[in-house]
Structure 1
Amino acid sequence: MSGANRQICHTGAFAVNHSSQVGARAKTKFALQSATGSEFAFCHMNAFTPLQDIHEHMLTGNVSDIIPLQRGHFIVVLHPHTKNKTPEILLGEVEAIYTNSGACGSKHEWIESVNKVGVPSYVMVRVFHPSHGMAYSSLAFHPLQASAFIRIPASHILFLFATLSSSFSRISLASDHAHPFQLVTLCPTAAMVMDKLCDKVVLVLTCVRDLQAY
């Protein structure tokens, strides 16, 4: 009996310690994410200063405690694959957000929303291409009637349209039921932000590279 009792006591102690360790790791990870996000946000503001005339919230990417970035939001991004090709400004709908602690070898984990542009390690977006006027289409490959999805690093997130999305017009279309696509028409303010970023795409690329160099 005494041996059994010792085993039970040992098992109970192990469970408590394991729970404490998990809680401590979670707190440490959250602290690292917050610190990394705050540092990135500061660097983002410095790097994007040349673009502040485009919109009053350009320096923060329009992401904040009041306006968090989350799935379903539309964002403006710089195409991440710009080496040896012309830089491109894209409109994307957020499909998923991932983050990590920033430590070497740390895993990327799904997160529901973020309140700083530097908290995500990357976001997955569905790309909307210019169609006509202020309209954008999710149809990327006409022969296949398919959409395109791209992984966007935090450094390439330019602006969140969350507060403007209620003014967007959105309709679903399909050449057949198996290949639906969507057409989104921006409001004038969002269209202006897109146009100005496209006009200054070379400067945008410089700002992104400056941010990556911090």
Structure 2
Amino acid sequence: MLSEDSITELENSLRGAVIEPHDPGYADACDVYNGIIHKRPRLIVRCTDVADIIRSVNFARENHLLLAIRSGGHNAGGLGVCDDGLVIDLASIRYTRVDPAARTVTVGAGCTWGDVDHATHVFGLATPSGIISTTGVGGLTLGGGIGHLTRKCGLTIDNLLSADIVLADGTFVKANANENSDLFWAIRGGGGNFGVVTSFTFNLHP
């Protein structure tokens, strides 16, 4: 059982908020896209940066808590939330950086595909994504990613160039074709089973 002291220590180490069942807004924070999913985590951590994610992963591991990771919350099975565990909510890690010359975009793990499309379309560029703008980048990418551009440009994972990841032991690594290539292979279709991806870099198409 978690002690209040340990939760307070976690709160004091974070930039983001920790939400508990007695807090206002807890019910809304548990909501996911699939309305039939009703799970009640012990803690929800609204991470604002990589440091928050590392501390949350370490806290869950050290306290033997089930860990769920939520990007957009669109997973049909409700994998972005869990009962009695800790939810890492990535919604606040929401940024996009487009390099139109290199035809790449780097996005934070809390972005939706609507965010990515908004950032890339002004340059006449796009990457294969889902068909619903509020879908989170993380879940769709790690699951494969099928969308309107798939026949022409491949799956979303075919266009993933690199990812930054926090592993279960709290270490922070980059995975791409040249660095941690085995991990890069695994995350492209392996879901959220290999770590918490904090950012993605994609190839863009005109």
TM normalised by structure 2 equals: 0.26
TM-score relative to the length of structure 1: 0.25
Q: Which structure has greater helix proportion?
A: 1
**Going by fraction, where is strand more abundant, 1 or 2?**
1
